[in-house]
Amino acid sequence: MGTRNTRDAIVEAALDLFNKDTVAAVSTNHIAREIGISPGNLYYHYRNKEEIVRAVFDRMVGDWDTVWQLPPGRAPTASDLARTLERTFELHWRYRFFQRELLALLTRDPQLRDRYRAVYRQRLEEFTVFAESLAAAGVIRSSIESWFTGLLEGLWIIGEHWMGHLEIVGDPSDPAQVRRGIQVIVAVLDPHLSDEFFADHSQEGPNP
Amino acid sequence: MGTRNTRDAIVEAALDLFNKDTVAAVSTNHIAREIGISPGNLYYHYRNKEEIVRAVFDRMVGDWDTVWQLPPGRAPTASDLARTLERTFELHWRYRFFQRELLALLTRDPQLRDRYRAVYRQRLEEFTVFAESLAAAGVIRSSIESWFTGLLEGLWIIGEHWMGHLEIVGDPSDPAQVRRGIQVIVAVLDPHLSDEFFADHSQEGPNP
């Protein structure tokens, strides 16, 4: 494998193992064995597990980058909102280890926490622009008032802590339960959604 | 001190120390020293730290017991909702170590997790009855539809993970930020609240 491919394979294998077990339970040896390279070769690419966790985090950030972006050159529609929610919970599932261990990971690694906070601020801005555009396009009903920020922060918390919630009172290894997070988001959004949304996407609604 | 008083003092001191630091950083010796008893005396009452954590949890459950109960013998009002939100976030503050370390504590102690899950189910029922009564009394606008459960689950997650959210992107040691959780809850509830709520409790609203 070339350097690039080996780095990718390490990140991919680490993500897979972290999801299956916990970050604490996965060693660098474990990751090396998974892709059939020597521990020495792994250490050539990443000095320790923290660096691998950060690399997985960076890949996650990259995968999220386009999710809350507006469609280029046209107003967003009810379908855009539905698809964006779908993609959101697909990524929550794909990187489920991260939400599950959110607090512990960020507490252990201040460098990771700083990156996370920067991404949080950026996402909340994108999130706000997206919601404002939906309101302007009549997909959601609310006018933009000052409590809108509170609503968006509430929706962020539900999304970001859904896996933690399932960890405690449900089953975070069941994709159907992970997907049910969409219904909770739609239930919170319900009074703000236009009839258009429910006409086009009744299957996304809380009464599937 | 009598046996009862000593047990109470241990729980009280443990809560205080857990809030100031973390559960991991507080030893039983630390707790014994805080209230001026010998480690042997402490072990006479609690065999280990896990038992003390469970005792603090039981006290918390007791303190919560009346919060989401309906006022006896009359319909709930907008003031009842406002006071209930106040008390909710007062208790989140009083037992802030618990939310901060929620996942870690429940993962480490399956016995505690089982108790927590039982309490969660009970609270969600009380929560639902409270909300249904508010709707019946016209304090909140929504008719009871099936998505109502999703809305309540969303509100629960915001409440229960607010400290975790502050831990990551804010300051969980600042009572003003903890209290700001009320504004997020009110923002989510906003379209459901009657004018009566905002007329009587504009100071609780998102535009104080």
B10-47 pLDDT, tens per residue? 999 999 999 999 899 999 999 999 999 999 999 999 99
Q: Which one-letter DSSP state was computed for residue A9?
A: H
Per the structure, the complete domain to which residue A18 belongs is given by: 1-49
What was the pLDDT predicted at B146? 61
pLDDT at A127 over 50: yes
Show the tokens assigned to B202: 């504009």
Q: List chain B residues with CB under 8 Å of A116.
A: 168-169
Dihedral of the alpha carbons of B40, B43, B44, B50, in degrees to the nearest 10: 170
Is B70 found in the same domain as B45?
A: no
What was the pLDDT predicted at B144? 55
Given phi > 0 = left and psi -120 to 50 = alpha, else beta, which region is A77? Answer: beta
Using CA atoms, how far apart are residues B58 and A56, in angstroms rounded to an integer? 39
Is A89 found in the same domain as A38?
A: no
pLDDT at B196 over 70: no
B interface with A, Cβ–Cβ below 8 Å:
100-104, 106-107, 113, 116-117, 120, 142, 146-151, 153-154, 157-158, 160-162, 164-165, 167-169, 183-188, 190-192, 205-207
Show the tokens assigned to B120: 């969660």
Query: Closest residue of A to B170, CA-based?
Result: A117
Q: Is residue B118 part of a domain?
A: yes
Q: Judge residue B165's burial from the number of C-beta atoms within 10 Å of its C-beta, 0-12 exposed, 13-18 middle, 19 or more buried.
A: buried
What was the pLDDT predicted at A196? 67
CA distance B45 to chain A (A): 29
Residue-wise pLDDT for A52-91, tens only, equals 999 999 999 999 998 989 999 999 988 898 888 889 888 9
Show the tokens assigned to A164: 């933690």
Q: Judge residue B160's burial from the number of C-beta atoms within 10 Å of its C-beta, 0-12 exposed, 13-18 middle, 19 or more buried.
A: buried
Choice between B162 and A200, residue whose per-residue pLDDT is larger: B162
Is A89 found in the same domain as A115?
A: yes
Using CA atoms, how far apart are residues A179 and A174, in angstroms rounded to an integer? 9
Q: List chain A residues with CB under 8 Å of B117.
A: 168-169
Q: Do A103 and B162 touch (CB under 8 A)?
A: no
What was the pLDDT predicted at B142? 63
Show the tokens assigned to B158: 């915001």
For chain B, the domain total comes to: 2
Is B82 found in the same domain as B30?
A: no
Is A195 found in the same domain as A121?
A: yes
Closest to B188 (Cα-Cα) out of A201, A187, A89: A187
What was the pLDDT predicted at B56? 98
Residue-wise pLDDT for A89-125, tens only, equals 889 889 989 988 888 898 889 999 999 989 988 988 8
> Residue A46 — very low, low, confident or very high, per pLDDT cuts 50/70/90?
very high
Q: Is residue A70 part of a domain?
A: yes
Q: A69 in helix, strand or coil? A: coil
Q: Is residue A56 part of a domain?
A: no
Nearest to A103 among B168, B186, B207 (CB): B168
C-beta of residue A99 within 8 angstroms of C-beta of residue A161: yes
pLDDT at A208 over 50: no
Continuous segment of H or E residues that includes residue B7: helix B3-20
Is A163 found in the same domain as A107?
A: yes
Q: Is residue B141 part of a domain?
A: yes
Choice between A182 and B18, residue whose per-residue pLDDT is larger: B18
> Residue B201 — very low, low, confident or very high, per pLDDT cuts 50/70/90?
low
Q: Is residue B178 part of a domain?
A: yes
Q: Is residue A27 part of a domain?
A: yes
Is B70 found in the same domain as B37?
A: no
What was the pLDDT predicted at A152? 86
Residue-wise pLDDT for B61-117, tens only, equals 999 998 989 999 999 988 898 888 889 888 988 998 998 888 889 888 999 999 998
Q: What number is the average pLDDT over the span A149-155? A: 88
A interface with B, Cβ–Cβ below 8 Å:
100-104, 106-107, 113, 116-117, 120, 142, 146-151, 153-154, 157-158, 160-162, 164-165, 167-169, 183-188, 190-192, 205-207
Is B69 found in the same domain as B43?
A: no
What was the pLDDT predicted at B158? 93
Q: What number is the average pLDDT over the span A181-190? A: 88
CATH number (domain holding residue B29)? 1.10.10.60
Share the mean pLDDT of chain A: 87
What was the pLDDT predicted at B208? 33
Q: A140 in helix, strand or coil? A: strand
Q: What number is the average pLDDT over the span A9-13? A: 98
C-beta of residue B142 within 8 angstroms of C-beta of residue B152: no
Residue-wise pLDDT for B156-165, tens only, equals 999 889 988 9
Continuous segment of H or E residues that includes residue A148: helix A148-169
